[in-house]
Chains A and B, each alone.
Chain A
Amino acid sequence: MSRLNIQRLRDELAQAWTVAVKDVRVYYLRPGMIMFGFLMPFFMFFSFSVRREVGAAEGVARLLAMTIFFTAGAAGPFIIPTERRIGTYDRLLAAPMSLLTLLLGKTAVGTFFAVAVSGVALLAGLLFFRADILQPGLLVAGILLGAFSFATLGLMFGSMPTTNPGDVQMPSTLLRWGLLFVSGVFIPLSEMAPAARAIAYLSPLTYAQDVMNHAVLGSGLINPWLDLAVLALSGILFLLPSIKMHQRARVLGH
Protein backbone atom coordinates (compact mmCIF):
# COMPACT_ATOMS: atom_id res chain seq x y z
CA MET A 1 0.00 0.00 0.00
CA SER A 2 1.47 3.35 -1.00
CA ARG A 3 2.21 6.08 1.50
CA LEU A 4 -0.60 8.16 -0.01
CA ASN A 5 -3.14 5.39 0.56
CA ILE A 6 -1.97 4.85 4.14
CA GLN A 7 -2.33 8.58 4.81
CA ARG A 8 -5.81 8.54 3.27
CA LEU A 9 -6.78 5.54 5.42
CA ARG A 10 -5.51 7.28 8.56
CA ASP A 11 -7.44 10.41 7.60
CA GLU A 12 -10.64 8.47 7.00
CA LEU A 13 -10.37 6.64 10.33
CA ALA A 14 -9.78 9.95 12.11
CA GLN A 15 -12.77 11.46 10.33
CA ALA A 16 -15.03 8.53 11.32
CA TRP A 17 -13.86 9.00 14.91
CA THR A 18 -14.50 12.77 14.70
CA VAL A 19 -18.06 12.18 13.47
CA ALA A 20 -18.70 9.63 16.22
CA VAL A 21 -17.36 11.86 19.02
CA LYS A 22 -19.37 14.82 17.76
CA ASP A 23 -22.56 12.73 17.69
CA VAL A 24 -21.91 11.44 21.19
CA ARG A 25 -21.61 15.02 22.45
CA VAL A 26 -24.59 16.35 20.51
CA TYR A 27 -27.13 13.53 20.66
CA TYR A 28 -26.62 11.19 23.62
CA LEU A 29 -28.69 13.27 25.98
CA ARG A 30 -31.50 13.97 23.52
CA PRO A 31 -34.92 12.69 24.69
CA GLY A 32 -35.29 10.42 21.63
CA MET A 33 -32.03 8.64 22.44
CA ILE A 34 -32.80 8.32 26.14
CA MET A 35 -36.31 7.01 25.47
CA PHE A 36 -35.56 4.50 22.73
CA GLY A 37 -32.01 3.66 23.72
CA PHE A 38 -31.83 3.73 27.48
CA LEU A 39 -35.27 3.37 29.02
CA MET A 40 -36.88 1.05 26.45
CA PRO A 41 -34.76 -2.06 27.13
CA PHE A 42 -35.29 -1.76 30.88
CA PHE A 43 -39.06 -1.23 30.46
CA MET A 44 -39.24 -4.23 28.16
CA PHE A 45 -37.19 -6.37 30.51
CA PHE A 46 -39.30 -5.59 33.56
CA SER A 47 -42.55 -5.94 31.58
CA PHE A 48 -41.72 -9.45 30.47
CA SER A 49 -39.60 -10.77 33.32
CA VAL A 50 -41.04 -9.64 36.64
CA ARG A 51 -43.18 -12.30 38.32
CA ARG A 52 -42.46 -14.84 35.58
CA GLU A 53 -40.08 -17.00 37.55
CA VAL A 54 -37.06 -16.05 35.50
CA GLY A 55 -33.77 -17.19 37.00
CA ALA A 56 -31.13 -14.59 37.85
CA ALA A 57 -28.62 -15.68 35.22
CA GLU A 58 -31.29 -16.11 32.58
CA GLY A 59 -32.68 -12.65 33.41
CA VAL A 60 -29.27 -11.02 33.10
CA ALA A 61 -28.60 -12.70 29.74
CA ARG A 62 -31.99 -11.49 28.50
CA LEU A 63 -31.45 -7.97 29.83
CA LEU A 64 -28.06 -7.74 28.13
CA ALA A 65 -29.37 -8.94 24.77
CA MET A 66 -32.30 -6.52 24.88
CA THR A 67 -30.10 -3.65 25.97
CA ILE A 68 -27.67 -4.14 23.10
CA PHE A 69 -30.52 -4.59 20.65
CA PHE A 70 -32.51 -1.49 21.58
CA THR A 71 -29.64 0.81 22.46
CA ALA A 72 -27.40 0.21 19.44
CA GLY A 73 -30.32 0.58 17.06
CA ALA A 74 -31.59 3.83 18.60
CA ALA A 75 -28.95 6.18 17.17
CA GLY A 76 -29.27 5.70 13.40
CA PRO A 77 -33.02 6.24 12.98
CA PHE A 78 -32.88 9.31 15.22
CA ILE A 79 -29.65 11.08 14.30
CA ILE A 80 -29.48 10.94 10.50
CA PRO A 81 -33.03 12.17 9.70
CA THR A 82 -32.60 14.87 12.36
CA GLU A 83 -29.35 16.01 10.73
CA ARG A 84 -30.93 15.92 7.29
CA ARG A 85 -33.78 18.11 8.55
CA ILE A 86 -31.59 20.78 10.14
CA GLY A 87 -29.05 20.72 7.32
CA THR A 88 -26.01 19.56 9.26
CA TYR A 89 -25.87 16.29 7.33
CA ASP A 90 -24.85 18.23 4.20
CA ARG A 91 -21.76 19.37 6.06
CA LEU A 92 -20.76 15.74 6.57
CA LEU A 93 -21.64 14.64 3.04
CA ALA A 94 -19.63 17.50 1.52
CA ALA A 95 -16.54 16.78 3.64
CA PRO A 96 -13.56 15.05 2.03
CA MET A 97 -14.28 11.52 3.23
CA SER A 98 -15.92 8.48 1.73
CA LEU A 99 -19.55 7.58 2.37
CA LEU A 100 -18.37 4.40 4.09
CA THR A 101 -16.28 6.47 6.51
CA LEU A 102 -19.31 8.56 7.38
CA LEU A 103 -21.45 5.46 7.88
CA LEU A 104 -18.82 3.81 10.05
CA GLY A 105 -18.66 6.95 12.18
CA LYS A 106 -22.44 6.82 12.58
CA THR A 107 -22.27 3.08 13.36
CA ALA A 108 -19.70 3.75 16.06
CA VAL A 109 -22.14 6.15 17.77
CA GLY A 110 -24.73 3.39 18.25
CA THR A 111 -22.06 0.86 19.14
CA PHE A 112 -20.53 3.06 21.88
CA PHE A 113 -23.99 3.82 23.24
CA ALA A 114 -24.86 0.12 23.42
CA VAL A 115 -21.56 -0.77 25.06
CA ALA A 116 -22.00 1.95 27.69
CA VAL A 117 -25.64 1.10 28.50
CA SER A 118 -24.79 -2.64 28.50
CA GLY A 119 -22.20 -1.81 31.15
CA VAL A 120 -25.00 -0.32 33.27
CA ALA A 121 -27.19 -3.38 32.62
CA LEU A 122 -24.33 -5.72 33.49
CA LEU A 123 -23.62 -3.84 36.69
CA ALA A 124 -27.32 -4.03 37.60
CA GLY A 125 -27.28 -7.78 36.89
CA LEU A 126 -24.22 -8.37 39.03
CA LEU A 127 -25.44 -6.22 41.93
CA PHE A 128 -29.16 -7.00 42.06
CA PHE A 129 -29.41 -10.49 40.54
CA ARG A 130 -26.08 -11.76 41.89
CA ALA A 131 -25.38 -13.30 38.50
CA ASP A 132 -22.01 -14.77 37.56
CA ILE A 133 -20.35 -14.22 34.21
CA LEU A 134 -19.01 -17.60 33.17
CA GLN A 135 -17.26 -16.55 29.96
CA PRO A 136 -16.21 -12.87 30.20
CA GLY A 137 -14.31 -12.91 26.89
CA LEU A 138 -17.35 -14.19 25.04
CA LEU A 139 -19.48 -11.60 26.81
CA VAL A 140 -17.24 -8.73 25.60
CA ALA A 141 -17.10 -10.11 22.04
CA GLY A 142 -20.87 -10.64 22.03
CA ILE A 143 -21.59 -7.14 23.26
CA LEU A 144 -19.22 -5.55 20.72
CA LEU A 145 -20.35 -7.54 17.68
CA GLY A 146 -24.01 -7.43 18.72
CA ALA A 147 -23.77 -3.67 19.16
CA PHE A 148 -22.13 -3.38 15.73
CA SER A 149 -24.81 -5.49 14.05
CA PHE A 150 -27.74 -3.66 15.64
CA ALA A 151 -26.13 -0.25 15.09
CA THR A 152 -25.90 -0.93 11.36
CA LEU A 153 -29.51 -2.23 11.44
CA GLY A 154 -30.53 1.13 12.93
CA LEU A 155 -28.35 2.93 10.41
CA MET A 156 -30.21 1.17 7.61
CA PHE A 157 -33.44 2.77 8.76
CA GLY A 158 -31.73 6.11 9.30
CA SER A 159 -30.51 6.00 5.71
CA MET A 160 -34.04 6.07 4.32
CA PRO A 161 -34.30 9.21 2.17
CA THR A 162 -36.39 11.34 4.50
CA THR A 163 -35.90 14.40 6.66
CA ASN A 164 -38.51 13.43 9.23
CA PRO A 165 -37.33 11.16 12.09
CA GLY A 166 -40.97 10.11 12.60
CA ASP A 167 -41.04 8.47 9.14
CA VAL A 168 -38.16 6.26 10.24
CA GLN A 169 -39.09 5.56 13.86
CA MET A 170 -42.33 3.81 12.97
CA PRO A 171 -40.96 1.09 10.64
CA SER A 172 -37.80 0.73 12.70
CA THR A 173 -39.75 0.23 15.94
CA LEU A 174 -42.14 -2.21 14.28
CA LEU A 175 -39.28 -4.31 12.95
CA ARG A 176 -37.41 -4.27 16.24
CA TRP A 177 -40.43 -5.33 18.23
CA GLY A 178 -41.16 -8.03 15.70
CA LEU A 179 -37.62 -9.34 15.96
CA LEU A 180 -37.81 -9.22 19.74
CA PHE A 181 -40.73 -11.66 19.80
CA VAL A 182 -39.36 -14.15 17.25
CA SER A 183 -35.77 -14.29 18.44
CA GLY A 184 -35.76 -16.55 21.44
CA VAL A 185 -35.51 -13.73 23.94
CA PHE A 186 -38.72 -14.51 25.80
CA ILE A 187 -39.22 -18.12 24.66
CA PRO A 188 -35.99 -20.12 24.59
CA LEU A 189 -35.03 -21.56 21.20
CA SER A 190 -35.15 -25.08 22.60
CA GLU A 191 -38.84 -24.65 23.46
CA MET A 192 -39.86 -23.28 20.07
CA ALA A 193 -41.76 -25.19 17.40
CA PRO A 194 -39.57 -26.02 14.37
CA ALA A 195 -41.26 -23.42 12.17
CA ALA A 196 -40.83 -20.69 14.80
CA ARG A 197 -37.22 -21.73 15.30
CA ALA A 198 -36.58 -21.48 11.54
CA ILE A 199 -37.86 -17.90 11.65
CA ALA A 200 -35.76 -17.19 14.73
CA TYR A 201 -32.61 -18.22 12.88
CA LEU A 202 -33.22 -15.35 10.42
CA SER A 203 -32.95 -12.76 13.18
CA PRO A 204 -29.53 -11.52 14.36
CA LEU A 205 -31.04 -11.00 17.81
CA THR A 206 -31.34 -14.78 18.14
CA TYR A 207 -27.56 -15.06 17.89
CA ALA A 208 -27.00 -12.17 20.30
CA GLN A 209 -29.30 -13.83 22.85
CA ASP A 210 -27.58 -17.16 22.34
CA VAL A 211 -24.10 -15.73 22.82
CA MET A 212 -25.28 -13.99 26.02
CA ASN A 213 -26.65 -17.34 27.20
CA HIS A 214 -23.24 -18.89 26.59
CA ALA A 215 -21.48 -16.07 28.43
CA VAL A 216 -23.80 -15.86 31.45
CA LEU A 217 -25.49 -19.29 31.72
CA GLY A 218 -22.62 -21.27 30.29
CA SER A 219 -24.75 -22.92 27.61
CA GLY A 220 -26.58 -22.07 24.39
CA LEU A 221 -28.16 -23.83 21.47
CA ILE A 222 -25.83 -22.57 18.73
CA ASN A 223 -22.05 -22.71 18.49
CA PRO A 224 -20.84 -19.42 20.03
CA TRP A 225 -18.37 -18.89 17.20
CA LEU A 226 -21.26 -19.12 14.75
CA ASP A 227 -23.18 -16.61 16.88
CA LEU A 228 -20.28 -14.16 16.66
CA ALA A 229 -19.75 -14.77 12.94
CA VAL A 230 -23.44 -14.14 12.16
CA LEU A 231 -23.43 -10.92 14.19
CA ALA A 232 -20.32 -9.65 12.38
CA LEU A 233 -21.60 -10.66 8.95
CA SER A 234 -25.08 -9.22 9.48
CA GLY A 235 -23.47 -5.95 10.58
CA ILE A 236 -21.57 -5.76 7.32
CA LEU A 237 -24.62 -6.79 5.27
CA PHE A 238 -26.79 -4.09 6.87
CA LEU A 239 -24.28 -1.49 5.65
CA LEU A 240 -24.96 -2.33 2.01
CA PRO A 241 -28.57 -1.08 1.84
CA SER A 242 -27.46 2.00 3.80
CA ILE A 243 -24.93 2.81 1.09
CA LYS A 244 -27.53 2.21 -1.64
CA MET A 245 -30.09 4.42 0.10
CA HIS A 246 -27.56 7.24 0.51
CA GLN A 247 -26.78 7.03 -3.19
CA ARG A 248 -30.52 7.10 -3.89
CA ALA A 249 -30.92 10.15 -1.62
CA ARG A 250 -28.26 11.93 -3.67
CA VAL A 251 -30.28 11.29 -6.79
CA LEU A 252 -33.57 12.34 -5.19
CA GLY A 253 -32.09 15.41 -3.56
CA HIS A 254 -32.80 14.60 0.11
Chain B
Amino acid sequence: MINAIEVENLTKYYEKFLAVDHISFTVKQGEIFGFLGPNGAGKTTTQRMLTTLLTPTEGGILINGHDLARDAYPAKQKIGLVPEESNVYTELTAWDNLMFTARLYRVPRGERAKRAQELLETFGLWEKRTVRAENFSKGMRRRLSIAMAIIHKPALLFLDEPTPGLDAQSIRAIWELIRRMNAEGTTVFITTHQIEEANQLCNRVAIISHGKIAAIDTPERLKANFRRVQSVEVAFDREMAEQGSGLESLPGVTTQVKVADKMRLYTEDPSALLPRVTQYAESHNLRIVSLNTLGPSLEDVFLEVTGGQIGVIKHETEEKPHRRGMGGRQ
Protein backbone atom coordinates (compact mmCIF):
# COMPACT_ATOMS: atom_id res chain seq x y z
CA MET B 1 0.00 0.00 0.00
CA ILE B 2 1.24 3.51 -0.81
CA ASN B 3 2.18 5.53 2.24
CA ALA B 4 0.06 8.59 2.97
CA ILE B 5 3.20 10.65 3.51
CA GLU B 6 6.81 9.93 2.62
CA VAL B 7 9.40 12.46 3.60
CA GLU B 8 13.02 12.09 2.58
CA ASN B 9 15.83 14.30 3.80
CA LEU B 10 13.51 17.29 4.21
CA THR B 11 15.36 20.49 5.06
CA LYS B 12 14.34 24.11 5.47
CA TYR B 13 16.56 27.12 5.94
CA TYR B 14 15.14 30.58 6.64
CA GLU B 15 18.11 32.43 5.19
CA LYS B 16 20.89 31.10 7.45
CA PHE B 17 18.65 29.69 10.18
CA LEU B 18 18.18 25.93 9.92
CA ALA B 19 14.56 25.26 10.93
CA VAL B 20 14.22 21.66 9.73
CA ASP B 21 17.32 19.54 9.50
CA HIS B 22 17.29 16.66 7.00
CA ILE B 23 14.35 14.73 8.45
CA SER B 24 12.91 11.53 6.98
CA PHE B 25 9.78 9.65 8.01
CA THR B 26 6.71 7.95 6.63
CA VAL B 27 3.08 8.02 7.68
CA LYS B 28 1.02 4.96 6.80
CA GLN B 29 -2.49 5.11 5.40
CA GLY B 30 -5.04 5.15 8.21
CA GLU B 31 -2.66 6.29 10.93
CA ILE B 32 -3.02 9.13 13.38
CA PHE B 33 0.50 10.46 13.39
CA GLY B 34 1.63 12.98 15.97
CA PHE B 35 4.38 15.49 15.40
CA LEU B 36 5.36 16.48 18.91
CA GLY B 37 7.84 19.13 19.89
CA PRO B 38 8.40 22.29 21.88
CA ASN B 39 7.69 25.71 20.37
CA GLY B 40 10.18 26.55 17.64
CA ALA B 41 11.23 22.92 17.10
CA GLY B 42 10.21 22.91 13.42
CA LYS B 43 6.73 21.32 13.63
CA THR B 44 4.76 23.98 11.81
CA THR B 45 7.51 24.54 9.27
CA THR B 46 7.41 20.83 8.45
CA GLN B 47 3.64 20.83 8.17
CA ARG B 48 3.66 23.90 5.92
CA MET B 49 6.06 22.13 3.60
CA LEU B 50 3.85 19.03 3.58
CA THR B 51 0.83 21.15 2.63
CA THR B 52 2.63 23.08 -0.16
CA LEU B 53 2.56 26.39 1.73
CA LEU B 54 6.31 26.48 2.05
CA THR B 55 9.02 25.47 -0.41
CA PRO B 56 11.63 23.10 1.07
CA THR B 57 15.28 24.03 0.74
CA GLU B 58 16.13 20.40 0.15
CA GLY B 59 14.51 16.97 0.20
CA GLY B 60 11.43 15.31 -1.21
CA ILE B 61 7.79 14.85 -0.18
CA LEU B 62 5.33 12.30 -1.55
CA ILE B 63 1.67 12.66 -0.58
CA ASN B 64 -0.26 9.51 -1.47
CA GLY B 65 2.51 8.77 -3.96
CA HIS B 66 2.37 12.21 -5.62
CA ASP B 67 5.60 14.18 -5.67
CA LEU B 68 4.83 17.70 -4.40
CA ALA B 69 7.79 19.20 -6.26
CA ARG B 70 6.58 17.90 -9.62
CA ASP B 71 2.82 18.33 -9.46
CA ALA B 72 1.12 19.33 -6.26
CA TYR B 73 -2.39 19.44 -7.76
CA PRO B 74 -3.45 15.78 -7.20
CA ALA B 75 -1.97 15.84 -3.70
CA LYS B 76 -3.79 19.07 -2.84
CA GLN B 77 -7.10 17.48 -3.82
CA LYS B 78 -6.61 14.85 -1.12
CA ILE B 79 -5.45 17.17 1.65
CA GLY B 80 -7.47 18.96 4.32
CA LEU B 81 -5.70 21.60 6.39
CA VAL B 82 -6.63 23.00 9.79
CA PRO B 83 -4.02 25.66 10.59
CA GLU B 84 -3.12 26.83 14.07
CA GLU B 85 -5.27 29.94 13.74
CA SER B 86 -8.92 29.34 12.92
CA ASN B 87 -8.86 30.95 9.49
CA VAL B 88 -12.58 31.34 8.91
CA TYR B 89 -14.06 34.35 7.13
CA THR B 90 -15.57 36.24 10.02
CA GLU B 91 -17.72 38.41 7.71
CA LEU B 92 -19.47 35.31 6.36
CA THR B 93 -21.96 33.06 8.10
CA ALA B 94 -21.05 29.50 9.08
CA TRP B 95 -23.11 28.25 6.13
CA ASP B 96 -21.43 30.60 3.64
CA ASN B 97 -17.97 29.66 4.92
CA LEU B 98 -18.72 26.00 4.25
CA MET B 99 -20.28 26.61 0.86
CA PHE B 100 -17.29 28.72 -0.18
CA THR B 101 -14.89 25.93 0.74
CA ALA B 102 -17.07 23.32 -0.95
CA ARG B 103 -17.00 25.33 -4.19
CA LEU B 104 -13.26 25.92 -3.88
CA TYR B 105 -12.64 22.17 -3.57
CA ARG B 106 -15.11 21.41 -6.36
CA VAL B 107 -17.46 19.33 -4.24
CA PRO B 108 -20.23 18.29 -6.65
CA ARG B 109 -23.04 20.87 -6.68
CA GLY B 110 -25.68 18.37 -5.58
CA GLU B 111 -23.70 17.30 -2.50
CA ARG B 112 -22.59 20.67 -1.13
CA ALA B 113 -25.66 21.54 0.89
CA LYS B 114 -26.03 17.99 2.24
CA ARG B 115 -22.43 17.83 3.43
CA ALA B 116 -22.58 21.33 4.90
CA GLN B 117 -25.69 20.42 6.88
CA GLU B 118 -24.16 17.16 8.10
CA LEU B 119 -21.00 18.92 9.28
CA LEU B 120 -22.83 21.78 10.96
CA GLU B 121 -24.99 19.26 12.81
CA THR B 122 -21.97 17.16 13.77
CA PHE B 123 -20.16 20.20 15.13
CA GLY B 124 -23.18 21.59 16.93
CA LEU B 125 -23.35 24.67 14.71
CA TRP B 126 -26.54 23.99 12.76
CA GLU B 127 -28.60 26.38 14.88
CA LYS B 128 -25.97 29.09 14.24
CA ARG B 129 -25.66 28.52 10.51
CA THR B 130 -26.95 31.97 9.60
CA VAL B 131 -24.81 33.77 12.20
CA ARG B 132 -21.69 35.54 10.99
CA ALA B 133 -18.54 33.86 12.30
CA GLU B 134 -17.38 37.13 13.92
CA ASN B 135 -19.98 36.42 16.62
CA PHE B 136 -18.63 32.92 17.32
CA SER B 137 -16.58 31.91 20.35
CA LYS B 138 -13.05 30.61 19.87
CA GLY B 139 -14.23 27.02 20.20
CA MET B 140 -17.02 27.52 17.64
CA ARG B 141 -14.60 29.07 15.15
CA ARG B 142 -12.25 26.14 15.69
CA ARG B 143 -15.04 23.67 14.97
CA LEU B 144 -16.07 25.63 11.88
CA SER B 145 -12.45 25.72 10.72
CA ILE B 146 -12.24 21.93 11.01
CA ALA B 147 -15.57 21.49 9.21
CA MET B 148 -14.27 23.65 6.36
CA ALA B 149 -11.14 21.50 6.14
CA ILE B 150 -13.06 18.25 5.75
CA ILE B 151 -16.04 19.21 3.58
CA HIS B 152 -14.32 17.65 0.55
CA LYS B 153 -13.70 14.42 2.51
CA PRO B 154 -9.89 14.54 2.40
CA ALA B 155 -7.92 11.30 2.58
CA LEU B 156 -5.26 13.10 4.62
CA LEU B 157 -6.05 15.69 7.28
CA PHE B 158 -3.40 18.01 8.70
CA LEU B 159 -4.14 19.66 12.04
CA ASP B 160 -1.75 22.24 13.47
CA GLU B 161 -2.16 22.58 17.23
CA PRO B 162 -5.88 21.79 17.10
CA THR B 163 -6.87 22.41 20.71
CA PRO B 164 -4.80 25.03 22.60
CA GLY B 165 -6.91 27.59 24.40
CA LEU B 166 -10.10 25.57 24.14
CA ASP B 167 -12.25 24.44 27.05
CA ALA B 168 -12.14 20.79 28.09
CA GLN B 169 -15.52 20.04 26.45
CA SER B 170 -14.40 21.41 23.08
CA ILE B 171 -11.11 19.53 23.32
CA ARG B 172 -12.89 16.23 23.96
CA ALA B 173 -15.33 16.90 21.10
CA ILE B 174 -12.47 17.58 18.67
CA TRP B 175 -10.55 14.49 19.79
CA GLU B 176 -13.68 12.40 19.35
CA LEU B 177 -14.18 13.77 15.86
CA ILE B 178 -10.57 13.04 14.90
CA ARG B 179 -10.95 9.46 16.13
CA ARG B 180 -14.20 9.06 14.20
CA MET B 181 -12.73 10.43 10.97
CA ASN B 182 -9.75 8.16 11.38
CA ALA B 183 -12.05 5.18 11.92
CA GLU B 184 -13.73 6.08 8.63
CA GLY B 185 -10.38 5.92 6.83
CA THR B 186 -8.86 9.41 7.03
CA THR B 187 -5.16 9.57 7.79
CA VAL B 188 -4.46 12.28 10.34
CA PHE B 189 -1.26 14.25 10.86
CA ILE B 190 -1.28 16.34 14.02
CA THR B 191 1.38 18.78 15.10
CA THR B 192 1.12 19.53 18.77
CA HIS B 193 3.15 20.53 21.77
CA GLN B 194 0.47 19.04 24.04
CA ILE B 195 1.75 15.70 25.21
CA GLU B 196 -1.57 14.44 26.45
CA GLU B 197 -3.09 15.10 23.03
CA ALA B 198 -0.45 12.98 21.31
CA ASN B 199 -0.77 10.29 23.99
CA GLN B 200 -4.55 10.12 23.68
CA LEU B 201 -4.84 10.23 19.89
CA CYS B 202 -1.78 9.03 18.06
CA ASN B 203 -0.85 5.60 16.76
CA ARG B 204 2.70 6.83 16.33
CA VAL B 205 4.54 9.91 17.48
CA ALA B 206 7.62 11.67 16.16
CA ILE B 207 9.36 13.93 18.63
CA ILE B 208 11.08 16.82 16.90
CA SER B 209 13.66 18.96 18.61
CA HIS B 210 15.86 21.67 17.08
CA GLY B 211 14.68 20.68 13.62
CA LYS B 212 15.61 17.01 13.95
CA ILE B 213 13.53 13.96 14.72
CA ALA B 214 14.76 12.80 18.10
CA ALA B 215 12.50 9.75 18.44
CA ILE B 216 9.73 8.11 16.46
CA ASP B 217 7.57 5.21 17.61
CA THR B 218 4.24 4.34 19.23
CA PRO B 219 3.64 6.21 22.50
CA GLU B 220 3.84 3.01 24.54
CA ARG B 221 7.07 1.81 22.93
CA LEU B 222 8.60 5.24 23.43
CA LYS B 223 7.74 5.01 27.10
CA ALA B 224 9.08 1.47 27.33
CA ASN B 225 12.40 2.57 25.86
CA PHE B 226 12.86 5.11 28.60
CA ARG B 227 12.92 2.92 31.68
CA ARG B 228 15.34 5.32 33.34
CA VAL B 229 12.56 7.82 33.80
CA GLN B 230 10.46 5.56 36.02
CA SER B 231 9.68 6.99 39.42
CA VAL B 232 8.37 6.39 42.91
CA GLU B 233 5.85 8.93 44.16
CA VAL B 234 5.35 9.26 47.87
CA ALA B 235 3.22 11.47 50.11
CA PHE B 236 3.79 11.70 53.87
CA ASP B 237 1.51 13.00 56.57
CA ARG B 238 3.74 16.06 56.78
CA GLU B 239 4.59 18.10 53.71
CA MET B 240 8.26 17.91 52.78
CA ALA B 241 10.49 20.76 51.62
CA GLU B 242 11.73 20.30 48.07
CA GLN B 243 15.35 20.50 49.14
CA GLY B 244 17.09 19.11 52.20
CA SER B 245 14.68 16.31 53.05
CA GLY B 246 17.30 13.68 52.38
CA LEU B 247 15.08 11.78 49.95
CA GLU B 248 17.21 12.90 47.01
CA SER B 249 20.20 11.22 48.67
CA LEU B 250 18.59 7.77 48.86
CA PRO B 251 20.56 5.22 46.81
CA GLY B 252 19.12 4.88 43.26
CA VAL B 253 17.41 8.28 43.12
CA THR B 254 18.52 10.20 40.04
CA THR B 255 16.22 13.21 40.33
CA GLN B 256 13.70 14.45 42.85
CA VAL B 257 10.73 16.61 41.97
CA LYS B 258 8.03 17.97 44.28
CA VAL B 259 4.60 17.53 42.70
CA ALA B 260 1.91 19.26 44.78
CA ASP B 261 2.00 17.52 48.19
CA LYS B 262 3.99 14.54 46.87
CA MET B 263 7.62 13.82 46.15
CA ARG B 264 8.45 12.13 42.87
CA LEU B 265 11.75 10.24 42.97
CA TYR B 266 13.09 9.23 39.56
CA THR B 267 14.97 5.94 39.46
CA GLU B 268 15.94 3.13 37.12
CA ASP B 269 14.84 0.55 39.69
CA PRO B 270 11.62 1.42 41.55
CA SER B 271 11.37 -1.96 43.31
CA ALA B 272 14.76 -1.42 44.98
CA LEU B 273 13.81 2.10 45.98
CA LEU B 274 10.48 1.24 47.63
CA PRO B 275 11.95 -0.37 50.80
CA ARG B 276 14.41 2.51 51.15
CA VAL B 277 11.52 4.98 51.11
CA THR B 278 9.66 3.05 53.83
CA GLN B 279 12.84 2.86 55.92
CA TYR B 280 13.25 6.61 55.43
CA ALA B 281 9.69 7.18 56.68
CA GLU B 282 10.27 5.05 59.79
CA SER B 283 13.58 6.68 60.59
CA HIS B 284 12.08 10.18 60.22
CA ASN B 285 8.89 9.33 62.15
CA LEU B 286 6.69 9.92 59.09
CA ARG B 287 3.53 8.11 58.10
CA ILE B 288 3.16 7.23 54.41
CA VAL B 289 -0.18 8.50 53.05
CA SER B 290 0.38 7.19 49.54
CA LEU B 291 3.12 5.33 47.71
CA ASN B 292 3.09 4.61 43.97
CA THR B 293 5.50 3.54 41.32
CA LEU B 294 5.04 5.36 38.05
CA GLY B 295 5.99 4.21 34.56
CA PRO B 296 7.57 6.77 32.28
CA SER B 297 5.01 9.21 30.90
CA LEU B 298 5.15 10.55 27.38
CA GLU B 299 6.03 13.86 28.96
CA ASP B 300 9.08 12.26 30.57
CA VAL B 301 10.10 10.82 27.21
CA PHE B 302 9.49 14.17 25.55
CA LEU B 303 11.60 16.03 28.08
CA GLU B 304 14.32 13.40 27.93
CA VAL B 305 14.70 13.51 24.16
CA THR B 306 14.26 17.26 23.79
CA GLY B 307 16.78 17.98 26.51
CA GLY B 308 14.21 19.51 28.87
CA GLN B 309 14.60 19.14 32.60
CA ILE B 310 12.24 16.72 34.27
CA GLY B 311 9.77 18.50 36.48
CA VAL B 312 10.61 21.96 35.17
CA ILE B 313 8.33 22.26 32.16
CA LYS B 314 4.65 22.13 32.97
CA HIS B 315 2.13 21.77 30.17
CA GLU B 316 -1.43 22.97 30.00
CA THR B 317 -2.77 19.45 30.09
CA GLU B 318 -0.18 17.57 32.05
CA GLU B 319 -0.26 13.87 31.39
CA LYS B 320 -1.02 11.66 34.34
CA PRO B 321 1.82 9.14 34.62
CA HIS B 322 0.84 5.52 34.28
CA ARG B 323 0.25 4.29 37.82
CA ARG B 324 0.92 0.73 38.72
CA GLY B 325 1.62 1.08 42.43
CA MET B 326 0.19 -0.08 45.67
CA GLY B 327 -2.64 1.49 47.62
CA GLY B 328 -2.74 5.07 48.62
CA ARG B 329 -4.45 7.91 46.85
CA GLN B 330 -4.86 7.84 43.14
Contact = CB atoms under 8 A, between A and B. Distances in A.
Contacts of A253: 14, 45, 48, 54
Nearest to A91: B87
Interface string A10-47: 01001100110010011000000000000000000000
A15 B53 contact: no
Contact of A90 (B81, B89, B103, B105): B81
B106 interface: yes
B25 interface: no
Given A26-B92, A253-B14, A87 B106 contact: no
- The secondary-structure label for the interface of chain A is helix
Interface in B141-187: 148
Most buried by A among B81, B91, B103, B104: B104
Contacts of B55: 247, 250-251
A86 interface: yes
A93 interface: yes
Contacts, number: 68
Contacts of B83: 87, 90-91
B106 A15 contact: yes
Contacts of B104: 15, 18-19, 91-92, 95, 97
Interface string A237-254: 000000000010011110
Contacts of A251: 54-55
Interface in B81-106: 81, 83, 85, 87-89, 91-92, 96, 100-101, 103-106
Interface in A208-254: 247, 250-253
B79 interface: yes
A87 B54 contact: no
A187 interface: no
A95 B76 contact: yes
Contacts of B100: 18, 22
B56 to A, nearest CB: 9
Contacts of B88: 88
B73 interface: yes
Given A18-B100, A25-B92, A87-B85, A93 B53 contact: yes
A94 B54 CA distance: 10
B297 interface: no
B256 interface: no
Contact of B14 (A15, A18, A88, A252): A252
Nearest to A87: B87
Contacts of B89: 22, 26, 88
Contacts of A8: 73
Contact of B52 (A87, A91, A93): A93
A194 interface: no
A96 interface: yes
B105 A96 contact: yes
Given A87-B85, A91-B104, A253-B54, 8 more contacts: A14-B106, A18-B103, A26-B91, A86-B87, A88-B87, A90-B83, A94-B52, A94-B81
Interface of B: 14, 45, 48, 51-55, 73, 76-77, 79, 81, 83, 85, 87-89, 91-92, 96, 100-101, 103-106, 148
